[in-house]
Amino acid sequence: MSENPQQEETRSHQPASTQPAATSSSAEKPRGGTAIAPQVVQKITGLAAREVSGIHAMGGGASRAFGAVRERVPGAGTAQTAGVRVEVGEKQAAIDLDVIAEYGAPIVDLTRTVRRNVISAVQQMAGLEVIEVNIAVNDVHVPSEGNGEQQSAAPSRVE
């Protein structure tokens, strides 16, 4: 007999499992694996970041220059992934972004919105936990007011 009669009584009132152990454990086992390539997470991230109003472009100066060259090569366009670096594991992703903000956009609010949008998109589409999104604002785009007017007002050098 047990030293504690209440423990014995509690055990005797627990219902027996109606499912065999093999059935319940096989239902919990996956039927295969899913691997998500880093390029997929990069593309999701780039598109999600560009959806946010106030983002002018992605990437720093050098990456944008190389991106412009790559876009001209057929089949090598990487516009969606410019300025995006990711580390992808089985269950988690870490993301680094380089962005250029529009002049007048509140940068703190802008980066908060980009971060939230990227995390939501990656978690929803790829099922990965996003552990961090680091955002570097490398430049502010100032619309060039008057460029078109100056060009039309300047005399043409050719006829």
Domains and CATH numbers, the chain: 38-142 (3.30.70.1350)
SS (H, E, C) the chain: CCCCHHHHHHHHCCCCCCCCHHHHHHHHCCCCCCCCCHHHHHHHHHHHHHCCCCEEEECCHHHHHHHHHHHHCCCCCCHHHCCEEEEECCCEEEEEEEEEEECCCCHHHHHHHHHHHHHHHHHHHHCCEEEEEEEEEEEEECCCCCHHHHHHHCCCCCC
Reported as a pLDDT band with limits 50, 70 and 90, residue 3 is: low
Q: Which two tokens stand for residue 60?
A: 């720093």
What is the pLDDT, as a whole number, of residue 79? 77
Beta-bridge partner residues of 132: 94
What is the pLDDT, as a whole number, of residue 157? 76
Reported as a pLDDT band with limits 50, 70 and 90, residue 72 is: low
Among 118, 152, 123, 149, CA closest to 135: 118
Better pLDDT: 95 or 26: 95
* pTM beyond cutoff 0.85: no
Is the model's pLDDT at 151 over the cut of 60? no
**In the chain, pLDDT over 90 holds for what percent of residues?**
54
What mean pLDDT comes out for the span 37-64? Answer: 90
